Amino acid sequence: MKKNLLDFSAHELNLFMKEHGVAAFRGTQIRKWLYQGVDSFDEMTDISKDLRAWLSEYFTTGALKIKRLLKSSDGTCKFLFDLGDGNYIESVLMKYSYGYSACISSQIGCKMGCKFCASTGAGFVRNLTIGEMIGQIITMNKHRGIRIGHVVIMGVGEPMDNYDNVVGFLREAQAPDGLGISFRHLALSTCGVVPGIRKLSEEKMPITLAISLHSPFDDERSELMPVNNAYPIEKVMDACREYQADGGRRITFEYAMIKGINDDKEHARALANLVKDLQCHVNLIPMNDVPGTPFKKSDSVTVEVFTRTLERMGVEVTTRRELGKDISAACGQLRRSATEESGNAN
């Protein structure tokens, strides 16, 4: 199996070149091309033919093959990438007034088992490497002729379950000779894996931490999200308080509004009490229907009442815009259909 050159940091690539008798600065030249999303070493016109031939024998440039691309009427694009080993991953590209933002996957599938999530239904296969995460961004940049300025690790997978690669990705994403995106424009969403949150505090990366909460009550949250059995709400909140005290930024709590389950005033009040001592905001997510699950999205009046209740209790609330509605941009759905089509058991 060929090695992905995007898995190397700048330093590692230069060192690797040197160790193989190639001048270290060639590594810098090569990396520039890689980050432009070239899919063939032949495009690297400022390095010798011999070096290009050696590289293409043993390595890949890390640009991903686009298996399918769906475009929404609101400008949102959903990419299905073919990783070349029979696996597919998804990324979503959104256009906002401040520029382009990408939502990327961190794993092929997920082990967390959240009852309402399409990623879990399709099973867990493996972690993504640093290069496969970077590859999602540079392939979208190249294909659309844009520069993505914000990234959220909020696609398929639990980032804390692939901690080292995710942190490696964040470093390469921030590196001026990498993607050059400031930590402030990078975000990670976790279902609440406490040791991961604690470790992330120590990295001193001022990224935005998002926590998928979805219920303020332990028994109910455990039903929806089995991870709550290992890390109950109070433990997650303690880790969030530490993250913030450690110089972390404002925390986002994601809350999917599920009809008749977590969307009444009692939930809103309990949620407000839970988060009000933190510098945070609550992001209400309209539930996406996932075939085979009984969960439905709350109606708009219920969402409105829920929002007002939170606001009256001093909590900052936003409701996520439903981008890409017509292309089922919710995580996991496209991969699931592609895997079913190709007859893969995963």
d(Cα 178, Cα 6) in Å, to the nearest integer?
10
Angle, helices 194-203 vs 233-245, to 10°: value is 0
Residue 114 near ligand SAH by CB under 6 A: yes
How far apart (Å, rounded) are the C-alpha atoms in residues 297 and 247? Answer: 35
Asked if 169 contacts 114 with a C-beta cutoff of 8 angstroms, the reply is no
Hunting for tokens 């894996």 — which residue is that? 193
Q: What angle do CA 137, 109, 122 make, to 5 degrees?
A: 130
Asked whether position 191 contacts ligand SAH by CB under 6 A, the answer is yes
Provide the minimum distance between the beta carbon of 12 and ligand SAH in the complex, in angstroms, as a whole number.
28
Considering the complex, state which of residue 90 and residue 158 has its C-beta at the smaller distance from ligand SAH: 158
Task: Give the interface segment with ligand SAH, choosing from 40-48, 61-69, 185-193, 271-279 (CB under 6 A).
Answer: 185-193
Helical axes 130-144 vs 163-174, angle rounded to 10°:
40
DSSP state letters, 191-216:
S--HHHHHHHHHHT--PEEEEE---S
233 lies in the binding site for ligand SAH (CB under 6 A): no
- Token digits for 326? 């017509």
Query: If binding is defined by CB under 6 A, does position 189 make contact with ligand SAH?
Result: yes
Instruction: Give the residue with the Cβ less far from ligand SAH, 114 or 167.
Output: 114
190 binds ligand SAH (CB under 6 A): yes
Strand 88-96 with 77-82, pairing: antiparallel
Out of 80, 89, 117, 236, the only residue in the binding site for ligand SAH (CB under 6 A) is 117
Residue 251 has, within 13 A of its CA and on its CB side, a CA count of: 28
- For ligand SAH, the closer of residues 31 and 267 by Cβ is 267
Residue 259, classified by CB atoms within 10 Å of its CB into exposed (0-12), middle (13-18) or buried (19+), is: middle
Residue 90: active-site member: yes
Q: Does 116 bind ligand SAH (CB under 6 A)?
A: yes
Shorter beta-carbon distance to ligand SAH: residue 308 or 320? 320
Per-position DSSP letters for 289-315, written without gaps between them: P-TT----BPPHHHHHHHHHHHHHTT-
Return d(Cα 223, Cα 261) in angstroms, integer. 11
Stretch binding ligand SAH (CB under 6 A), from 35-43, 164-172, 183-191, 268-276: 183-191
Of the residues 90, 158, 172, 254, which is catalytic? Answer: 90
| Neighbour-count burial for 64-96, b at 16+ CB within 10 Å, e otherwise | beebeebebeeebbbbbbbbeeebbbbbbbbee
Give me the least distance between CB of 206 and ligand SAH, in Å please: 19
The site for ligand SAH, by CB under 6 A, has a size of 17
Binding status of residue 154 toward ligand SAH by CB under 6 A:
yes
Beta bridge partners of 77: 71, 93
Residues 276-305 that bind ligand SAH (CB under 6 A): 285, 287-288, 290
Interface with ligand SAH, residue 212, by CB under 6 A: yes
Q: Between residue 314 and residue 343, which ones bind ligand SAH under the rule CB under 6 A?
A: 330-331
Q: Return the residue of 254, 323, 335, 339 that touches ligand SAH, per CB under 6 A.
A: 254
Q: Is 132 a catalytic residue?
A: no
Interaction between residue 10 and ligand SAH (CB under 6 A):
no
Q: How far is the CB of 125 from ligand SAH (least distance, A)?
A: 15
Task: Pick the closer one to ligand SAH by CB: 34 or 133.
Answer: 133
Residues lying near ligand SAH in the complex (CB under 6 A): 114, 116-117, 154, 158, 189-191, 212, 254, 256, 285, 287-288, 290, 330-331
- Residues recognised as catalytic: 90, 331
